[in-house]
Amino acid sequence: MTRTASLCTASATGILALAVVGLVVGDFPVPAREALATAIWDRGSEFDFVVNSLRFPRVVVAVLAGICLAVSGALFQTLIDNPLVSPDIIGIDTGAAAMAVAVLALGLDTRLLPYAAFAGAVGTAGLIFVLSWRRGFSGGRLVLVGIGINALLTAVITYMLVRFPIERVSAAARWQAGTLSSSSWGDARTLAIGMALLVPAAFLLIRQLRVMQLGDDTAIALGVGLEPSRLTVIIVGCGLAATVVAVVGPLGFVALLVPHVARALAGAFSGGVLLLTALLGAVMLLSADLVAQRLFAPTVLPAGVVTAAMGGPYLLFVLRRFNRAA
C-alpha cells in the first residue's frame, strides 16, 4: 500500500509538472510565473488568449482523456484476464471512428461528430457482446469477435477514405489519428461529465472484478451475479472509451499500455492500482501531446501518432515475454 501511495503521489506530481510545461512551451513562449497566474487568477493579462483559450483547455483535455482511457483499459483487461486487451484492440474505438469518418466524408454537420462517434462506440460494443454470447459470456470469444469486428470496420473506414472527395476525407484522416490540437473548454466539460459519472462506477466495480478473478464458481458462491456484473463492466469501460473518442478521436495504445505498466509497478488489481492507472494515463497522454507539439515544431503531430510510437515497441516487448513464458 505504501508503494502504491508513493507511486500515486509521484504520478500526480508528474501531472502537475507536465501541465505547467504545457502552459509554458509553444510557438509563443510564456514565462512560468505568468502562465500560472493567467491560468489561475489573472484572466485579463496579455497572455490570456494563449494560455486560457489555447493551452489550458488542451492540458485539461489531455489529463481527462488519459484518465478515462487508462481506466477503461484496466476494466477490460481485468474482466477478460488478459493484459493485451483494450477498447482499441477489440474494435470499440474503430466503431466510433467509422461513424465519425462517415459524418465527415458525407459532408454532414460537424456538430454531429461527437454524437455519431459515441453512438458508433456503444453500438459496436453491443454488437461484440451479442455476437460473443453463447450460453454465457466468454472473454476469449469476446476478444476474437472484437478483433474480427475491428478488421471489418477498418475496411469500411478505408473504403470511405478512398471513395469520397479528398477535401472531405483529409479532415477525417487527421481526426482518425487522434488529435488534441483543437481542444476547447467544451471538450473538457464533456470529458469531465463522462469521467464524473463513469470513473466512480469503475471504482465501485473493483470488488466484483476481484472476486470474478477467483473463478466463476467462487464468484457465484460469494454472491456475485456474473452476467450482470460483466455487462456492467463492459458498459462502463465502453462509456469511458466512447467519451474520449467522441471528443478527441481514437488514441491508440493508452488503454492497452498504461494498465499493464501500473500492474507491473504496483501489483495485482485493486483500488490503489486503479487510481495509479488513472494517473499514469494522464501522464502518458500529456507527455505524448507535448512531444507531438514540439518534436517537429512548427509542425504539430496528432497525439495518436506519438502514443502509437510509444506503445508499439512496448507491445512487442510484452508479446516477446509471453512467447518466452509459453
Expressed as residue numbers, the domain containing 71 is 63-325
Cβ neighbors of 149 (< 8 A, separation 6 or more) are: 90, 91, 94, 95, 124, 127, 128, 131
pLDDT of residue 210: 86
Quote the number of domains for the chain.
1
pLDDT of residue 19: 94
**Contact in structure between 68 and 244 (CB atoms under 8 Å):** yes
Please state, as a whole number, how many other Cβ atoms lie within 10 Å of the Cβ of residue 252: 23
Residue 50 within any structural domain of the chain: no
**Contact in structure between 102 and 172 (CB atoms under 8 Å):** no
> pLDDT-derived band of residue 275, with 50, 70 and 90 as boundaries?
very high
Q: What angle do CA 146, 129, 143 make, to 5 degrees?
A: 30
Residue 9 within any structural domain of the chain: no
Residue 11 within any structural domain of the chain: no
Q: How far apart are CA 200 and CA 202, in angstroms?
A: 5
**pLDDT by residue (tens digit) across 214-238?**
777 777 787 777 778 888 888 899 8
When mean pLDDT is compared across 102-111, 185-194, 229-238, 286-295, the lowest value belongs to: 102-111
**Contact in structure between 181 and 248 (CB atoms under 8 Å):** no
Higher-confidence position of 38 and 17: 17
Q: How far apart are CA 325 and CA 209, in angstroms?
A: 25
**pLDDT by residue (tens digit) across 45-102?**
778 888 888 899 999 999 999 999 999 999 998 888 877 788 888 888 888 888 888 8
Residue 191 within any structural domain of the chain: yes
Residue 58 within any structural domain of the chain: no
Residue 194 within any structural domain of the chain: yes
298-303 LR contacts (CB < 8 Å, sep 24+): 298/27, 300/181, 302/174, 302/177, 302/178, 302/179, 302/181, 302/249, 303/62, 303/178, 303/179, 303/180, 303/248, 303/251
Residue 153 within any structural domain of the chain: yes
Whichever domain contains 186, its CATH number is 1.10.3470.10
Residue 289 within any structural domain of the chain: yes
> pLDDT-derived band of residue 183, with 50, 70 and 90 as boundaries?
confident
**Contact in structure between 255 and 69 (CB atoms under 8 Å):** yes
